[in-house]
Amino acid sequence: MNSQQETRERGVKCDYLFMKKQNEVIDNLIETLKDGQEGFKQAAESVRNPALKTLFSDYSQQRSRFATALQSEARLHGETKPETGSSATGAMHRGWINLKSAITGGDEHAILAECERGEDSAVEEYKKALDDGLSPSAQELVSRQFAEIKAAHDRIRSLRDGTKS
């Protein structure tokens, strides 16, 4: 094999490893979004306040849209079966929302605090993803989503701070 072929093969291997790593990062974000989608859905079902019900439902739908967009991005980069489910950690988180709302009788402060905890995790996952050297199109998509995730986090924190425990 000549040096030009070796260089080309190394380049193909590097591209493959980059895409594999990127798809893992995207799959992780999709899991995080699916966790949030389900968590917000359950939070909406747990509160009586119509404004919070609407807000949580809106965030649940937003997370679904974000996951779909990331699934499409992953397919553009060769992923044949991007992540579609949530994580085991997310399932435990959603169980915690159920437990807490059952114990507190739908206490808004407790539910908002639990949603903020979930959002803390989402913000961290997005920060890690943005530091992982994504392709330009994935970086742009994740960056746009991160801005909205961060805004949701801050809004939930503000609402939590406005309620009494």
The pLDDT tens digits of the residues spanning 135-144 come to 899 999 999 9
User: b or e along 144-163 (b: 16 or more beta carbons within 10 Å of the residue's beta carbon)?
Assistant: ebbeebeebbeebbebbeee
In this structure, are residues 42 and 97 in contact, taking their beta carbons and an 8 Å threshold?
Answer: yes
- Structure confidence by residue, pLDDT tens digits, 64-77: 999 999 999 888 87
- Structure confidence by residue, pLDDT tens digits, 25-52: 888 899 889 889 988 998 898 888 999 9
Q: Indicate if the pLDDT at residue 111 is higher than 50.
A: yes
The secondary structure of residue 158, as a DSSP letter, is H
CA 153/CA 26 separation, integer angstroms: 20
**Nearest C-alpha neighbor of 21 from the set 125, 112, 133, 100:** 133
Which residues does 2 contact at the CB level (< 8 Å), separation at least 6?
none
* pLDDT of amino acid 9: 47
Residue 78 half-sphere exposure toward CB, CA atoms < 13 A: 11
**What do you get for the CA distance between the two ends of the chain, in Å?**
70
Regarding predicted confidence, which is higher, 124 or 91? 124
How many residues are recorded in the chain? 165
* pLDDT of amino acid 105: 75
Average pLDDT, the chain: 81
